[in-house]
Amino acid sequence: MMNLNELREQLYVAVLSDVLDQMGYTHQATRIPFTPYTGIPKLIGRCKTTLWTDMYDIDPNPYELELKAVDSCQPGDVLIAAAGGSNRSGIWGELLSTAARNSGCVGVIVHGGVRDIDKMRAMQFPVFATSKNPYDSQNRQRVIDMDVTVEIDGVRFSPGDIVMADEDGIVVVPKAIEQDVIQAALNKVSAENVTRDAIKNGMKATEAYLKFGVL
């Protein structure tokens, strides 16, 4: 069983992106800026996906699917809110964070707006989002599907994939190749540490790259 808490301390988004690149998976990381609004700069877990849409009428069943998604989170899940970058409302806040954490969710990634930031910060609940907005989502945005593959910035997030977020961005590791990617990333981190020490001790960068093969 992969221990994601240990990997959180050892890995980072850029090294996973590099390894995926080398394996031919060249579009696994987002390029748009996400902000860690609650001050927690790193998050790793498995994707629990929700697909959102804007709406302009009265919702006959407000919050229905988003509550179902939150309540069905499993320990270690990261809830993905694919809302197309909409800033029509703040679709995630304190109450959803509380309910998600109770289900074992370890954080949320929102391609859209969030609110109750001070309260979520006090909870120490990791929240990465593209905007903030005080408006409630009712009759403005809603979940239209869950546990399906979604896209953010052209990157596909599928249920159960490993997702990592830090200050560089967000990267997704497809479940089918996760063992190979994680092992290669750990090897690369080890090689980078050796290279860094050599450069600190006076070795020229060109010589270090030729010798160790990492940059």
List, as residue ranges, the binding site for substrate.
93-96, 115
The percent of the chain in helix, strand and coil, each rounded to the nearest 5, is 35, 30, 35
Contacts of 187 (CB under 8 A, 6+ apart): none
Give me the half-sphere count of Cα atoms (radius 13 Å) on the Cβ side of residue 167.
4
How many angstroms separate the CA atoms of 193 and 178, rounded?
A: 22
212: nearest Cα among 17, 19, 197: 197
Report which secondary-structure segment, H or E, holds 180.
Answer: helix 178-200
Binding-site positions read 93-96, 115-116
The conformation of residue 73, written as its DSSP 8-state character, comes to -
How many angstroms separate the CA atoms of 148 and 166, rounded?
A: 24
Binding-site positions for Mg(2+) read 116
Name the token pair of 111: 């391609």
Query: Which amino acid is it at 180?
Result: D
136: nearest Cα among 70, 92, 85, 84: 92
91: nearest Cα among 72, 121, 65, 71: 65
